[in-house]
Amino acid sequence: MEKKQALLLSVLLTVLVFSNVYLISLVSDSVELESVMIKKAVDGDTLDLQDGRRIRLLNINSPESNMPLSELSFVYLKNLENSTVQIEITGKEIYGRDLARVYNKGYINIDMVSKGLSHTAHVEDSEMNEFMKKQDEAFIKGIGIWKRSPNYGCLKAEIHKKEEFLTIENICSIDFDKVALKDESTRTFRITIPGKSKMLFFSEKGENSGNKIYLGSSRNIWNDDKDSIFIREEDGLLLFYEHYGY
pLDDT above 90 for 28 = no
Judged by DSSP in three states, 46 sits in strand
List, for residues 37-90, the tens digit of each pLDDT value.
999 999 999 999 999 999 999 999 999 998 999 999 999 999 999 999 999 999
- pLDDT greater than 60 at residue 27: no
Domains in the chain: ranges and CATH:
34-144 (2.40.50.90), 148-244 (2.60.40.1260)
Beta partners for residue 41, in sequence order: 47
Residue 237: predicted pLDDT: 98
Reported as a single tens digit per residue, the pLDDT across 154-198 is 999 999 999 999 999 999 999 999 999 999 998 999 999 999 999
Across the chain, mean pLDDT equals 89
The average pLDDT across 227-240 equals 97
Q: What's residue 41's pLDDT?
A: 98
Distance separating alpha carbons of residues 61 and 185, to the nearest angstrom: 7
Q: Are 56 and 93 in contact (CB under 8 A)?
A: yes
Q: How far apart are CA 79 and CA 10, in angstroms?
A: 55
Surface-to-core class of residue 231, CB atoms within 10 Å of its CB (0-12 exposed, 13-18 middle, 19+ buried): buried
